[in-house]
Amino acid sequence: MSRKTLETKAESAEESASRPTLRTVAAEAGVAVTTVSRALADDPRIAESTRKRISEIADRLGYVPNRAAQRLRTGRTKVISLMINPRHEFLSFTSEFLGGMYEGLSGTGYAINITADSLGEDRLDAIRNIRRHSLADAIVFTRTECFDDRARYLLEHDFPFVTHGRTDFMTPHPFVDFDNEAFVRLAVERLVEKGRQHVCIVMPNEKYTFGQHLRFGARQAAMTHGVRLTVPGAVDLDSEPDEIAAMLRGLHGGPDAPDSYICVGEVSALITLACLNDMGLTQGQEVDVLAKRASPISNHFRPRIETIDEDLRATGRAMAKVLLGRMSGEPVEDLQILLKPEGPFSVSS
């Protein structure tokens, strides 16, 4: 075991010695080390032609920044912590959202560290840990609440962050959000056009801001068009699939079953379609299902359904842009983005 440990250390030392450094790049480029450092950080004080030449040399030599050294020198981690709730439409939401963030941060030198976001009573534990121990330069989190303790804490400590979703705080902060109120109004209007009179929606928990927006938009649209709206109280978007399916079966066992469903996410759409199929109900005949489309997974729904698009890859790119702007000191008023539902209705195909 000792021999193996010594050999491993020797190999690490040899690897470190052969790894290109800022000095290596500087010697090849014929400039000072500080010039290389600034050029690779895209410092506008360095001529664009010089930045480009140094970048090409660094790529050719295989230079990779030493994060530990950078942190000691600058006090920055070059890490962004993304707080994700594993139950939040994980298959569709996270893959597209994260892919967009990676695209938006490409070339900046920032890495993304994913941290599980508990839905327990104290959602601040992980946030406090990141700030107190300087584990990241900024934080991104989702499932924003109307008066979110995480946003309050980070505002009080002037720690860079951006939320996916808005809050009701008077103090402005960076956010990127989807107009869920507009989404649900469009969805109700479309189902009314198809002759439906009783719409059912399994909503997010009402403590989340987007849950409030969905409820308000759905109630307004239902009143405007004179249709009935059912929002089951026994389950929400985070309930177990079997619980949601049991609720749907219960609704259709009564005398006044819904004739249409709006699904806030693709996972809930899969549950709804499966349950309706098991009960012998045919999409487009006895019932209609309309869902939010967040990823290509809805292309494989069977039977096919109409969808309204939320481009989560574009959301991820916008989150990266807003976060970089916050860290560079841009005005908060320029760092608030509300994305609209995209395009006309489409049939998943």
* Continuous segment of H or E residues that includes residue 72: helix 67-74
Q: Report the pLDDT value the prediction gives residue 231, as an integer from 0 to 100.
A: 97
Greater confidence (185 vs 89) lies with 185
Q: Output DSSP code: residue 327.
A: H
Greater confidence (289 vs 119) lies with 289
Most confident of 9-18, 54-63, 93-102, 304-313: 304-313
Q: Which of 346, 85, 297, 336 is nearest to 204 (CA)?
A: 85
Which of 31-40, 72-81, 105-114, 333-342 is the least confident region?
72-81
Q: Report the pLDDT value the prediction gives residue 39, as an integer from 0 to 100.
A: 85
Q: Report the pLDDT value the prediction gives residue 16, as an integer from 0 to 100.
A: 46
Greater confidence (252 vs 5) lies with 252
Which of 155-169, 254-268, 334-348 is the least confident region?
334-348
Kindly tell me the sign of the dihedral angle through the C-alpha atoms of 228, 189, 337, 96.
Answer: positive
Spatial separation of the C-alpha atoms in residues 277 and 348, rounded to whole Å: 17
Model confidence at 4, pLDDT cuts 50, 70, 90, reads: very low
Quick one: the chain helix, strand, coil %, rounded to 5?
50, 15, 35
Model confidence at 5, pLDDT cuts 50, 70, 90, reads: very low
Does 109 have pLDDT greater than 90? no
Residue 210 C-alpha from the chain's centroid: 13
Contact 339, 318 (CB under 8 A): yes
Contact 222, 228 (CB under 8 A): yes
The pair phi, psi for residue 58, each rounded to 5°, is -60, -40
> What would the DSSP string read from start to end of 183-250?
HHHHHHHHHHHTT--EEEE-PPPTTBHHHHHHHHHHHHHHHHHT-EEE--SS--TTS-HHHHHHHHHH
Greater confidence (234 vs 10) lies with 234
pTM over 0.85? The answer is no
pLDDT digits (tens, 9 = 90+) for 136-182: 999 999 999 999 999 999 999 999 999 999 999 999 999 999 999 99
